[in-house]
Structure 1
Amino acid sequence: MAGNIKGPSLPGAALLIASKVGFSARMAREPSESSKASVAEAVRLRGQIIGSYSQVEHLITDIVLRARVLACYRHLPEGLPYKLATRIQRVQTLFRTPGPLLKYADEAMPLLDGLTAYEAIRVMMAHGLFILEARTNPHTFEFRMYRAEKGNVISEGLMETDAQQLRFAAREITDYAQAVVVLFHRIYLAERLQEV
């Protein structure tokens, strides 16, 4: 583990403290050990959520690319759709098409449908600004981000949580990703897709 890697050396550089009026970077004093521990845990959980989601996202793309080499799937559309819903539909079509993957459809479909449940938290974890509200007990974690919407409208997204809720979310998506990895590993070995 890279426990000896240090971040910025400025006091409090990693912490933005939310105030009721707005945000202020409190650099005048060193953050408390409790605040530092909360930030470290939030960063770790954020990475766990993003990493788990990315693993599933990679696998659904990988299986489409590998299966397209097989004659029974060559008639399916080429390319990789950008939108998550379209990518999931693409891999679901693969599992519904007559061929070696059809026998895994009953197991794969519910897992594939499950990925969309994690999209909103993945977006917030990947793109949101993290703010620790250290004046609450337990500390409140805020994630904020701007979103461009239709009609040139900009909205601000906000997610407030705490360590316990973020731990639960990270554990849930990690368990989900593990189930997908186990199924796909079994498919790759049985159907020799790793060789394609």
Structure 2
Amino acid sequence: MGRFHHSGQKSTSDVLSETFENLSLADRYLTQLENLFDFLCRQYERHLENVRRNFASVDAELRVWLDKCRVGPKRRSYFEAVCEVQSFDEQAFARYAAEIRKWATYYTSRSSIFEALNAFEESLNEKAALVVQSRDPARLANRACILLKEEIKRRCLEKEIASKREILKEKGNSATQQVKTSDPGYLMDMGRLTFTVEDH
């Protein structure tokens, strides 16, 4: 009885520093509890790390579709990434899955308009790069020849842009009509050449 009382006065660090064979039954039990607690803590940390990785994966997938659909910041703010550990649950996963399905469907059902828009912007960017290039003072040495080539390329790009603009307008009008009848919350903003989602 005296030994049990004496062992009960030991600190946890004293108990854990002794060999298992030298401990009393109560001390052994305490050691086992400490080991079990440490094991469960490690298991829980591994579980949280796996959950964080899974959430990072689905969040990255969602952002890919939001980028493809050219969703603006206002609409994105309606669905913020889950950051707090307390929110890592099945309901959060379900919300992500539903949001991913929604935007994947939205993109695939309107892929032609997005492709036309991407092609149009590519030509605009190419023309802008040509303008910047033509202003480079280091190119003055052979300027006559360079200017002729750039002028030819610029005219070709302008024709290409005009053609793509008409294609984009046609597809945009069709998509806008489809949007109005199927989902009035979404709007094609042709003036800014971005596919945005208007607040509603």
More strand per residue: 1 or 2?
Answer: 1
Name the TM-score, length of structure 1 as normaliser.
0.31
Structure with higher Rg: it is 2
Name the TM-score, length of structure 2 as normaliser.
0.31
